Structure 1
Amino acid sequence: MYHYTDGGLRNVWLANGYEIKKTPFGDAVSFHDGDGLTQAICQALGAKVGVLTGVELRYIRSAGMGLSQPALGKLMGIDGQSIARWEKSGKVPRWADKLVRLLYAGHAQGNEPICRVMDRIKTVERIVKQRIVVQEKRGHWTPTSEPADEDAVAA
């Protein structure tokens, strides 16, 4: 069995579906159907008894739903700092635990309204994190957008 620790998870073990390969830099692990593996883990986390840990919440948020902390916060009607605090401290309120499980289940099952809202939030987040580059050619200015370089935006 392979102890799967991606994203900080400590309670996931793989019975099969992986290969350990030798490389010049040491052993490497290759997973069959990585997306399917992520979905299976998120489904198991969504069905587990007890409140999600901060690490489990982060895994469902990032790997399962593809959302940033601010994006999940917006979806839940709170700020992203609350999400960050829960993930770091491991203390997830019961109401937030239930809502995240519900949102993940709706997303995973293709619930159209939930998927549409998540896609809209992701789109807005990508747009906000763009930088506008304006070039002058022969007396005319032309703007273009490109993904922001985080270091350049902070400067």
Structure 2
Amino acid sequence: MYHYTDGGLKNVWLVNGYKQHKTPYGEGISINDLDGLGVAICLALAKKPSPLTGAEFRYVRSAGLMQSQSGLAKVLGNNEQAIARWEKSGKVPRWADKLIRLLYLARAEGNAPIASAIERINAIERAEKQRIVMKEARSGWASKIEPQEAADCGIV
């Protein structure tokens, strides 16, 4: 068995689905279907009966929800220092433990509104400064998002 320690996980072992090989730097491991493994680990963590450790919480946040500490803090109505502290100390509040599991399971099982909300937060995290350009049409107002640098900020 191979002890899988990605993301600081300490309790994940692979029975198969990997190959060991020699590299110029020592033993190497190739994992078949790495994306599928990540999903399976996140599902197992979300469904485990005991509280999540800090490393497990971080794994679900980063690999499962693809959220930064800042992004998850916005979802939870908290600050990124609190998220970092929970992950480092391993003292994850019960409510945050339950909520991250709920968010991951809803996203993994195809809950469109939750998946859409998480994707919007991810997009906000990656976005540069933008402006909303409104245009009146016969059918009503329409909006368009443009990068702030694309045009001057003067009023026309």
1:2-151 aligned within 5 A: 2-128=2-128, 143=149
Hey, what's the Cα distance between the residues in 2 that align with 1:88 and 1:71? 17
CA distance in 1, matches of 2:128, 2:13: 38
Structure 1 segments unaligned to the other structure (5+ residues): 131-142, 145-155
Distance change in 2, residues 1:20/1:52 (3 Å): same
Summarize the Cα distance change of 1:129–1:22 in structure 2 as closer, same or farther, 3 Å threshold: farther
With over 3 angstroms needed to count, the CA separation of the structure-2 counterparts of 1:45 and 1:129, relative to structure 1, is farther
Report the residue type matching 1:26 in the other structure: G
- Superposed displacement of residue 63, structure 1: 0.7
Separation in 1 of the partners of 2:128 and 2:85? Answer: 23
**What TM-score do the two structures reach when normalised by structure 1?**
0.81
Distance 2:111 2:63 in 1: 18
Q: CA deviation at 1:28?
A: 1.0
Amino acid of the structure 2 residue aligned with 1:39: V
Fraction of identical pairs, as percent: 60
Q: Which runs of 5+ in 2 are unaligned?
A: 131-148, 151-156
The TM-score normalised by the length of structure 2 is: 0.81
After alignment, is 3-12 or 44-53 more displaced?
44-53
Kindly report the root-mean-square deviation, in angstroms, between the aligned alpha carbons of the 2 structures. Answer: 1.5
Q: Give 1:106 deviation, angstroms.
A: 0.8
- Aligned letter for 1:95? W
